[in-house]
A and B are shown apart, each in its own frame.
Chain A
Amino acid sequence: DTAVSQTPKYLVTQMGNDKSIKCEQNLGHDTMYWYKQDSKKFLKIMFSYNNKELIINETVPNRFSPKSPDKAHLNLHINSLELGDSAVYFCASSPASGGSYEQYFGPGTRLTVT
């Protein structure tokens, strides 16, 4: 029944490593997002895909690369992890038309870089 799911929930890794976070939604939404939430709880949009096409790409380092294999999945790959990448990463999805466009969030992935 989970609407937006993310794996893993926790990720602890060392600087310089490469890691991926996966996201899946079963709501039939066209649009998916990645957000970063820092230690002060500030929420920052990173990327947005609509029907597998990138539509929002905020000023995020090139080390972050989203990939959308299909409309229901949006994965986030991070190369050469840095200490400042430590945060909680949220995936979200929303319908693209015909309504209030509300976003539904996954439970988050807490990334700790040591």
Chain B
Amino acid sequence: GEDVEQSLFLSVREGDSSVINCTYTDSSSTYLYWYKQEPGAGLQLLTYIFSNMDMKQDQRLTVLLNKKDKHLSLRIADTQTGDSAIYFCAERKASNYQLIWGAGTKLIIKP
């Protein structure tokens, strides 16, 4: 079946690295995405990775893709209070336009 799974919560100290994990089931997925949703706001695209890549880095963000294990992670270096949000993982099926979404991981920053 189609499923994208994420832990519901992650708590980290300010200044530490945050690693948000995601597993998916569709091995034919072409693109995988990370979105950020701040309270009361829409979803903001953070980054994405094509399925033939293992890693993508963009400033404080590092995406790692393990296609064999169908595992995707988002690492946020030097986590700041402004990173406090819900992070959604999504995969794009090869067959259509549809994205399959995870339930979101709420990132909580401890001072």
Contact = CB atoms under 8 A, between A and B. Distances in A.
Chains A and B bind each other: yes
B97 A102 contact: no
B55 interface: no
A45 interface: yes
Interface string B67-111: 000000000000000000010100010001111010110000000
Contacts, number: 53
A97 to B, nearest CB: 10
A92 B33 CA distance: 15
A90 interface: yes
Contacts of B33: 102-103
Interface residues of B, number: 21
B97 A55 contact: yes
B44 to A, nearest CB: 7
Nearest to A106: B42
* Interface pairs A-B: 5 shortest CB-CB: A105-B42, A105-B43, A107-B42, A43-B101, A41-B104
Given A41-B103, A101-B92, A108-B42, A50 B48 contact: no
A41 B96 contact: no
Nearest to A50: B97
A40 B83 CA distance: 20
Given A41-B37, A90-B43, A100 B31 contact: yes
Contacts of B10: none
